[in-house]
Structure 1
Amino acid sequence: MALEKATLTFYKVDSCGLYKWGDHTPFLGDTVDILDDLLSWSSGKGVAQTATYQVPKGNDLLPSLLLDIKKAGNNYLLTLWNQTPTQQGSVPSVDPNSSVGSASVTMNGTKKGTIPGFATYFWFIPSERVFACVQFDHSTTGHKVMEKYVKSFIDPFSKHVVFNLKADGTFESKGYAGHLSDKHLNLHPKFSSSLFRKPGNTDHILDNHAMIEQVVRKTNLEMKNTADKQLLQRMMDAFRRGINISSKLPASGINVNYQMPIDLTRQELEALIKDWEKSNSNSKVQWDDYGFKIKGEMNKIYWLSGSIARDGFDLDVSRQNAEVIDSNSLIQELNKKSQYILRLIK
């Protein structure tokens, strides 16, 4: 066991189960029911047997498999394996110091019969109707992949969907458990979630949109990104002529903070907030934010990040290997510290 820094981002469960078209309340299933069903369904299966969806060509979604699911008390920990693309059994990687247009790409071999990828973790607290994406090493939460995985499990793999085995070995839907006599019952699976937004900053910003006098922007410009580097050069030119951006600047990027007067309608402001939340929902980056100065409120800046239920925690966990956190140790530690962690959403 060792202390590791984890970033937790909370989401509300907006829908989970099988729904009649147009209804907002599930006809069959709920979060506990579906997760218990997934736990039962996966028992004894090999990882390769746990795919619930196929990714069509042209889709950016990663394929995923169930690495583990644990229940402790009334909470659950879902661990997914996100498959990374391969080329003839090898994973390509690019040399960041090579030039645009002639980049050097290396093909890294993988062990035959294995599936390259990375793990993502989701801590469900059904009593609060929320879950948290738990990030350790990776900048992505895998949130959208998890949504797709659970939704695709609900139909056709959950206990609520009944199938007949046909003579040719294929299956056909017979109906829904407990309602087989209703031939006209037509349900569809839903699993959706949204960032848990704490009341406060965002509401105050929107309510006072007409009084906003300045917007403060914090962002990170990556020096290995040509467009970002050019933007920083233009900023430096505007500040003081003759300063050139050094090629020795760190590739990890430069934190930039600037402010500007702005006049936004409420609709434009809502669109800005929605776009920012979308781009930041899967990120651990702290230096990417908008702040708003409101007339009459001296020296006060309202940051959008102040409305997201996200924070870092030291968790005492063990690893199965360099990539995967042991599920038992993680859910026990999260449950142990739940009272402290859940202050984020109170």
Structure 2
Amino acid sequence: MDQEAKIIFYKIEECGYYKFRSNDHVYGDINLFLSDLKEWSSSRNTKDTKLFEPEQGSYQHPIYLADLKNNEHNDWVVVLWNEVPTSDGNVMSLPGLKKVGNATLNLSSVGPDDIPGFPTFFWFISDSNLIATINMNHSYGGKSGMNKYIYDFIKYHTPYAKHTKSEDSLKKNVVAYLTPSNNELLKLKSNLKISPIRILGNHEKIINSANEIARITTKAELNALTKNTKALWQKVTDFFEVKNYSIPTKEKVRFESSFEVNLTEKAVREIIQGWEEDGGIDSGKDYGFEFKKNLGKKLWLGESFLKTSFNLNFPVKDFSNLNANHLLHALDTHKKHILEIVPKEFKIKESQKKIEEKPQISYEKLNKKST
């Protein structure tokens, strides 16, 4: 049975270890780090793959690695598991004591070692430095959580990170990184910059015609399953000036409101910047602008990004399919057609220093050296 997948593309602009002052790239790419993540997670239970605790007041979820697979083309599918409080009601859960890639979902009650939550799916096309979020059924993109997860792995948990003792098992005190060729220790900084591929169009039209804007429509679609927190609902209801509200129990809730405006170019730029800082296309919110000479026709900010929909042979009823290998095969089958919408310049991988060989150092040895 085919399943419609909504696919949003992102470009990896920076990935790896860099010099502090010049910001010159020294080594590392996404294929290397995903290979390291695969090795690091191969003997771990799911509950042992959490890499960070969300900051207080943030809308981020604790994230675990559910599965990851690659093929001969160095394409990857990564499935992350986003934890939610058990107080959210009847939610599915992932067994925390199962090995990564071997867990099956529990769709009924949450056991003592289970992790309640929901999955997010990502497709890495490493030879082009492209990433795509794969949104199916009731899932959502989750790009910001994935960005944080991969970044923290690169910074703290690769076999190249040399750290001193720390009381925080997640945020270790990194003092240097091992080079791939001779295990020389260098003081470097880690970085991972992932940006949406924006098509020139709506944003520029909206900014250039700021004084012609007559009305703005704001809309938000929030998934109670994924972001069911009092703080977030407070923010959204404040945004739409809803005075009395309760946390919804149905899966999706939509808000929409329109109002007349008189905006300057500066104000429009601030609206766009605020939307992007809040997660942009991945935030669940969008702004539509109507102009005085064309009322009724809206230009949406979210329509300026490279995205598509495609039917994949990957059934995900009730999120029950977490098999990264199945999804990777489904994507690879249609890869050529899916990537037809990606402009040629984004398919070319920026030149980076190539890794001649991986450091011959294991996680076990590294842990002994770090104590």
* TM-score, scaled to structure 2: 0.66
State yes or no: 1:42 paired with 2:41. yes
Structure 2 matches for 1:57-68, cutoff 5 A?
57-68=56-67
The alignment yields a C-alpha RMSD, in angstroms, of 3.9
State yes or no: 1:93 paired with 2:98. no
Label 1:318 to 1:263 Cα distance change in 2 as closer, same or farther (>3 A): closer
Query: How far apart are residue 62 of structure 1 and its match?
Result: 1.5
The match for 1:191 is 192
Larger radius of gyration: 1
Q: Secondary structure at the match of 1:189?
A: strand
Could you give the per-residue CA deviations for residues 276-315 of structure 1, whole angstroms, max 9, x where no partner exists? 3435422567xx44134376x8997543232122333221
State yes or no: 1:268 paired with 2:249. no
**What amino acid maps onto 1:334 in structure 2?**
L
Q: Secondary structure at the match of 2:89?
A: strand
State yes or no: 1:332 paired with 2:329. yes
The match for 1:290 is 288
Label 1:294 to 1:21 Cα distance change in 2 as closer, same or farther (>3 A): farther
Q: Secondary structure at the match of 2:26?
A: coil
Label 1:66 to 1:293 Cα distance change in 2 as closer, same or farther (>3 A): same
The match for 2:138 is 138
The 8 Å contact of residues 34 and 154 in structure 1, kept in 2 or not, is answered as yes
Q: Secondary structure at the match of 2:114?
A: coil
Q: Secondary structure at the match of 1:27?
A: strand
Q: Secondary structure at the match of 2:154?
A: helix
The 8 Å contact of residues 119 and 323 in structure 1, kept in 2 or not, is answered as no
Partners of 2:53 and 2:241 lie apart in 1 by: 40
**What amino acid maps onto 1:154 in structure 2?**
I
**What amino acid maps onto 2:328 in structure 1?**
I
The match for 1:245 is none
The 8 Å contact of residues 152 and 189 in structure 1, kept in 2 or not, is answered as no
The match for 2:14 is 15
Query: How far apart are residue 79 of structure 1 and its match?
Result: 0.8
The match for 2:357 is none
Partners of 1:157 and 1:251 lie apart in 2 by: 35
The 8 Å contact of residues 83 and 118 in structure 1, kept in 2 or not, is answered as yes
Q: Secondary structure at the match of 1:123?
A: strand
The 8 Å contact of residues 317 and 325 in structure 1, kept in 2 or not, is answered as no
The match for 2:83 is 83
The match for 2:113 is 113
Label 1:5 to 1:38 Cα distance change in 2 as closer, same or farther (>3 A): same
Query: How far apart are residue 77 of structure 1 and its match?
Result: 0.8
The 8 Å contact of residues 140 and 283 in structure 1, kept in 2 or not, is answered as no
Query: How far apart are residue 6 of structure 1 and its match?
Result: 1.9
**What amino acid maps onto 1:18 in structure 2?**
Y
Query: How far apart are residue 5 of structure 1 and its match?
Result: 2.0
Partners of 1:83 and 1:51 lie apart in 2 by: 10
Identity %: 25
Partners of 2:251 and 2:43 lie apart in 1 by: 46
The 8 Å contact of residues 80 and 146 in structure 2, kept in 1 or not, is answered as yes
**Stretches of structure 1 lacking an aligned partner (at least 5 in a row):** 95-107, 233-249
Label 1:268 to 1:139 Cα distance change in 2 as closer, same or farther (>3 A): farther
**What amino acid maps onto 2:324 in structure 1?**
S
Query: How far apart are residue 155 of structure 1 and its match?
Result: 2.3
**What amino acid maps onto 1:140 in structure 2?**
Y
Partners of 1:56 and 1:219 lie apart in 2 by: 27
**What amino acid maps onto 1:130 in structure 2?**
L
Partners of 1:127 and 1:38 lie apart in 2 by: 18
The match for 1:103 is none
**What amino acid maps onto 2:326 in structure 1?**
S
